């Protein structure tokens, strides 16, 4: 029996940041921000909100939707590139917050592709009967690693968490493919703070603890890579673009999504986009968008859902689900 999603949930910080608010600081017209990104509002965390607290809130909603207690979970996977701390893992903090049994709990960091990497790991645990119920919580607080005066990143990135419970059942995950190319690691990164370049007065002064992004080159690489990998993935399944009922892409930038749709004649009404409301929340964009689509009852039993992501590393992934 395939891996099946039996419950989803999401959590967004209470604070909403509008384009008008960013415009005042960055000196960019709100209309220009919308044109560049497709984003109208985004959520930024307050000091008391953490990656773990958002993950816990989203996970509780997913458990409620699945009709399960936390005691039923056999494995916790947290995807994040903005963990509360280097160690212990955010997954262990989520385990504490949910009061689960002493089950395995660990983090995965594949940047914006993290959720699909976790989905693959969950699938392996379920298919080998190593777990009956797996929790994936993708949670990010990107607002704390962006330079508030850098228009390239400050208008894009946001905070939020998406969670889901997976089990085995009818329908579900048909296939998943992942990939990475570390040669392009400089396209988007957070240079300082790790063992390569420990945080110091010098690194702080140089802004090395802020996210850095090669915007135009990253855009071209994202479109080219996502299109190439999507075509390979669909070919491996003997499917065409028009045989997919729903597309849920990583919500990075509306211009990237529009380019992929235009180049492959994908109908816009089959693509679920939450970017305008929530911004780019890195690894949590796909589970958040999926939770919204399910809440709005847009996905029906028997339909094909394709999940697709591209992230720093660079990393990518595609997954097909028979709902």
Q: Say yes or no: 219 and 84 in one domain.
A: no
Catalytic site residue from 19, 43, 109, 112: 112
Whether residue 1 has pLDDT greater than 90: no
The pTM score is: 0.96
Domain total of the chain:
2
Query: What does the pLDDT look like over 227-251, one tens digit per residue?
Result: 999 999 999 999 999 999 999 999 9
Give the pLDDT score at 171: 82
Catalytic site residue from 109, 253, 280, 318: 280
CA dist 188 and 76 (Å) reads: 27
Closest CA relative to residue 292, chosen from 273, 306, 319: 273
Q: Say yes or no: 68 and 144 in one domain.
A: yes
Give the pLDDT score at 306: 98
CA dist 318 and 234 (Å) reads: 9
Give the pLDDT score at 106: 98
Q: Say yes or no: 78 and 182 in one domain.
A: no
CA dist 179 and 160 (Å) reads: 25
Domain extent at residue 203:
175-322
Q: Is 286 helix (H, G, I), strand (E, B) or coil?
A: helix
Q: Say yes or no: 164 and 235 in one domain.
A: no
Domain's final residue, options 170, 200, 217: 170
CA dist 22 and 29 (Å) reads: 9
- Of the pLDDT bands very low, low, confident and very high (cuts 50, 70, 90), residue 15 is very high
Question: What does the radius of gyration of the chain's CA atoms come to, in whole angstroms?
Answer: 19
Residue with the bigger pLDDT between 170 and 260: it is 260
Annotated catalytic, 280? Answer: yes
Q: Is 323 helix (H, G, I), strand (E, B) or coil?
A: coil
Q: Say yes or no: 96 and 196 in one domain.
A: no
Domain's final residue, options 170, 185, 203: 170
Domain at 190, CATH number: 3.40.47.10
Whether residue 170 has pLDDT greater than 90: no
- In this structure, the number of other CB atoms found within 10 A of the CB of residue 269 comes to 8
Return the percent helix, strand and coil in the chain, to nearest 5.
40, 25, 35
The full length of the chain comes to 323
CA dist 81 and 142 (Å) reads: 8
Catalytic site residue from 250, 253, 272, 318: 250
């Amino acid at each position: 029996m395939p891996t099946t999603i039996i419950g989803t949930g999401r959590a967004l910080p209470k604070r909403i940041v509008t384009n008008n608010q960013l415009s005042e600081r960055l000196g960019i017209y709100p209309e220009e921000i919308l044109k560049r990104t497709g984003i109208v509002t985004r959520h930024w965390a307050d000091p008391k909100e953490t990656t773990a607290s958002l993950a816990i809130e989203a996970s509780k909603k997913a458990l409620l939707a699945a009709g399960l207690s936390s005691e039923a979970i056999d494995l916790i996977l947290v995807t994040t590139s903005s963990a509360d701390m280097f160690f212990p893992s955010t997954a262990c903090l989520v385990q504490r917050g949910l009061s689960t049994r002493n089950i395995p709990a660990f983090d995965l960091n594949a940047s914006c592709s993290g959720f699909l990497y976790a989905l693959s790991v969950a699938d392996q645990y379920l298919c080998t009967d190593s777990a009956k119920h797996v929790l994936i919580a993708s949670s990010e607080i990107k607002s704390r690693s962006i330079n508030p005066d850098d228009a390239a990143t400050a208008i894009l990135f946001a905070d939020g968490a998406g969670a889901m419970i997976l089990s085995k059942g009818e329908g579900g995950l048909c296939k998943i493919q992942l990939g990475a190319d570390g040669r392009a690691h400089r396209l988007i990164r957070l240079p300082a703070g790790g063992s390569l370049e420990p945080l110091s007065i010098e690194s702080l002064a140089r802004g090395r603890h802020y996210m850095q992004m090669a915007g135009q080159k990253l855009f071209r690489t994202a479109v080219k890579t996502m299109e190439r990998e999507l075509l390979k993935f669909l070919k491996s399944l003997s499917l065409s673009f028009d045989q997919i009922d729903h597309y849920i892409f990583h919500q990075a930038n509306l211009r990237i999504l529009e380019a992929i749709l235009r180049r492959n004649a994908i109908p816009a009404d089959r693509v679920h986009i939450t970017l305008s409301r929530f911004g780019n929340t890195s690894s949590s964009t796909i589970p958040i968008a999926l939770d919204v689509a399910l809440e709005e009852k847009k996905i029906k039993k028997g339909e094909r859902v394709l999940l697709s992501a591209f992230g720093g590393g660079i990393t990518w992934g595609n997954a097909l689900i028979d709902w």
